[in-house]
Amino acid sequence: MISDPLTLTILLFVILFSFLLSGLWIGFSLLATGISLMLLYNFNLPPTISIWNKIGGLMANSVWNSTDSWSLASLALFVLMGELLYETDLSSKLFNGLIRWLTKIPGKLLHINIIACSMFAAVSGSSAATTATIGKITLNELSKRGYDKSLAVGSLAGAGTLGFLIPPSIIMIIYGVLSNTSIGKLFAAGILPGLMLGSFYSAYIAIRSLITPSLVPKEMTRYSFREKLSASTGIIPLFALITVVLGSIYLGFATPTEAAALGVIGSLITAAIFKNLRFKTLKNALINSSKTTAMIVFIVIGAAFLSQVVGFVGIARALSLFVAKLGLSKYMLLAVVGIMYMLMGMVLDGISMVVMTLPIILPIMLSAGFSPLWFGIFLVIMVELAQITPPVGFSLFVIQGISRESAGNIIRYSFPFFLIMIFSVILLALFPQIVFYLPNQMIR
């Protein structure tokens, strides 16, 4: 039996990675790790009380507390909204509407990934859905028109991760539930950093295209203003949907859950207007969203149990004291945590990173003086980095399936956008008011 918290911390990571590498589901791995720590910890229980009674009580408490939240209802609804947009082919209208407005900008249609991913992220909340949907539409089209493959694939890898940062965001909902932070404020806080990151991507594409003109084909179809307006009719409903979902939250007319319900209703109405709503597509959207939601909630349950165990055996307190004794400055601590998340992104998916580390890392960051709202945005960008970090970058797998490129090429193509994300994190650390501006306006 062990009582030293630092020894238990080492065992925590050894046991958890052993379960994950064995192929066990992430939710089961989190639960099994928590049970293992409870069995190893020296409780000094009286003979009349079984350790399994203690484990069962703690598990029941954590499962109830983590699922007794209306915020999780918004998670399910936002996932359903993204699936509806994907299954009813509304996203293709987004591409056809945008393509006519980008012919005179340096980089031309290479910006389509940035703009389309930003818009789709604002109505789906899912990085995987954003990458898959936009990638299916744009990559083949850009290839046919003679655009450079490295910039086309790399921009999709970078911009596809905006589904986590531009609200509504599934990761933000999970973070808000676990950290007891306002999800509405998190949504508002993610808007400016998301637009900033998308602007940096577009600026990089424009600069590369000006330096190397061969990346962009010379012959381009010219569109009249009338043709541009005609094609934009497919964009207007999606703009309206974004306005309803985000505007209702920002102006205080609806909670995130109510806004998500409005988004689902808006998706159904839009699909019906364009005559894309069929029984088969509705069925597929419901089945896929149910699977995704169940998977995420199971991970949240496992993480909630593990977080209670981590606090119960004293690991969180011991780590906080250990880091405090290192004498790191505020920003040195942030750099260490950032490097840790980049390393974890090589072997874990984004949701797992958040739910596994938050119980340990958040108290340390709060004691260092960081706001839970700012740290939430920082953590979301770290999750975005994990999406394109080999070997378990989920977006890399999605793009590989769409483009049929080798994993090595996709990693190489996405590396400049990886560096842009790191630069954005540095800017947010130096100018935290970028994160706080819109939430403060909400309060006023």
Residues 77 and 147 reside in one and the same domain: yes
Residues 108 and 243 reside in one and the same domain: yes
pLDDT at 443 over 70: no
Per the DSSP assignment, residues forming a β-bridge with 2 are 41
Range with the poorest average pLDDT among 60-74, 171-185, 287-301: 60-74
Instruction: Kindly state whether residue 35 falls inside one of the protein's structural domains.
Output: yes
In whole numbers, what is the pLDDT of the chain averaged over residues?
Answer: 79
Instruction: Kindly state whether residue 14 falls inside one of the protein's structural domains.
Output: no
* Tens-place pLDDT, residues 312-353: 777 766 766 676 677 788 888 898 888 888 877 765 666 767
* The domain boundary residue, chosen from 265, 293, 321: 293
Please tell me whether the peptide bond between 106 and the residue prior to it is cis, using omega within 30 degrees of 0.
no
| CA separation for the pair 205, 203 (Å, rounded) | 5
Instruction: Kindly state whether residue 46 falls inside one of the protein's structural domains.
Output: no
Asked whether the beta carbons of 186 and 373 are under 8 A apart, the reply is: yes
Residues 158 and 252 reside in one and the same domain: yes
Residues 207 and 76 reside in one and the same domain: yes
pLDDT at site 46: 61
pLDDT at 203 over 90: yes
Residues 237 and 276 reside in one and the same domain: yes
* Tens-place pLDDT, residues 256-291: 778 888 888 988 888 888 777 888 888 988 898 888
* The domain boundary residue, chosen from 236, 267, 293: 293
| CA separation for the pair 253, 166 (Å, rounded) | 20
Q: Which two tokens stand for residue 258?
A: 């109510």
Please report which confidence band the pLDDT of residue 145 belongs to, taking 50, 70 and 90 as the band edges.
confident
* Tens-place pLDDT, residues 378-408: 998 988 887 787 655 667 767 776 677 887 8
Residue 23's SS3 state is coil
Residues 224 and 305 reside in one and the same domain: no
Return the DSSP state at 105: S
> Can you give the residue range of the structural domain that contains 333?
26-41+51-69+301-443
Q: Write the DSSP string, 317-343.
A: HHHHHHHHHTT--HHHHHHHHHHHHHH
Say if pTM beats, i.e. exceeds, 0.85.
no
Residues 149 and 109 reside in one and the same domain: yes
Residues 88 and 180 reside in one and the same domain: yes
Residues 324 and 393 reside in one and the same domain: yes
Instruction: Kindly state whether residue 19 falls inside one of the protein's structural domains.
Output: no
Q: Which two tokens stand for residue 261?
A: 């319900």
Residues 230 and 357 reside in one and the same domain: no
- How many domains are there within the chain? 2
Instruction: Kindly state whether residue 169 falls inside one of the protein's structural domains.
Output: yes
Nearest to 303 by CA among 351, 255, 373: 351
| CA separation for the pair 278, 241 (Å, rounded) | 20
Asked whether the beta carbons of 280 and 94 are under 8 A apart, the reply is: no
pLDDT at site 196: 93
Q: Write the DSSP string, 379-439.
A: HHHHHHHHHTSSSS-HHHHHHHHHH---HHHHHHHHHHHHHHHHHHHHHHHH-THHHHHHH
Instruction: Kindly state whether residue 10 falls inside one of the protein's structural domains.
Output: no
Q: How confident is the model over 420-444, as a mean pLDDT?
A: 88
Please report which confidence band the pLDDT of residue 102 belongs to, taking 50, 70 and 90 as the band edges.
confident
Instruction: Kindly state whether residue 164 falls inside one of the protein's structural domains.
Output: yes
pLDDT at site 213: 86
Which of 88-92, 183-187, 374-378 ranks highest by mean pLDDT?
Answer: 374-378
Q: Tell me which long-range contacts 34-38 makes (C-beta under 8 A, separation of at least 24).
A: 34/59, 34/302, 34/305, 34/306, 34/308, 34/309, 36/11, 37/8, 37/11, 37/12, 37/309, 37/310, 37/313, 38/309, 38/312, 38/313
Range with the poorest average pLDDT among 30-44, 224-238, 278-292: 224-238
Instruction: Kindly state whether residue 5 falls inside one of the protein's structural domains.
Output: no
* The domain boundary residue, chosen from 272, 293, 314: 293
Residues 140 and 107 reside in one and the same domain: yes
Residues 57 and 206 reside in one and the same domain: no
